[in-house]
Amino acid sequence: MIWTFYADAVTFVHVLWIVAVVCGPLWACKNLLIRFFHLIMLWMTFFVGMIGYCPLTIMENSLRAHYDPSSVYASGFISHYLEVLTSWGPPRELIMSLISVWTVLWTIVYIVLWIKKRKK
């Protein structure tokens, strides 16, 4: 029973991380500190995606294996849960392309905002 709770807690943290990466620009519009942390989260997500092994996914699978080995999944977190919810699991290449574009886009936007603020 406790393994289920821990695995679900890790899943919840993973979902919060994804929400923060996707919605971070909404919170980072005016706050330089949030912008800095969002940029760190973006690049961490990018590099973890390039490596291919997310520590949160590994931790979740490890915890789930303790109570139900059949609940462990081989695909990534996003692919697995999108497939569960929609019957379509996007390929890893598509997810990495979206992460790459999102990371580069917001890095450029934040740099431009920083330069504009410095010129004032």
Chain segment 4-61, per-residue pLDDT in tens: 999 999 999 999 999 999 999 998 888 889 999 999 999 999 999 999 889 999 999 9
Is the confidence at residue 82, as pLDDT, over 90? Answer: no
Residue in the block written with tokens 């990495």: 96
Opening angle at CA 84, ends 95 and 15, nearest 5: 60
The model's pTM: 0.86
Distance CA 71, CA 48 (A): 23
Residue 41, Cβ density class (10 Å: 0-12 exposed, 13-18 middle, ≥19 buried): middle
The residue segments making up the domain with residue 26 are 2-119
In whole numbers, what is the pLDDT of the chain averaged over residues? 91
Q: How many domains does the chain have?
A: 1
Q: Tell me, what's the pLDDT at 41?
A: 97
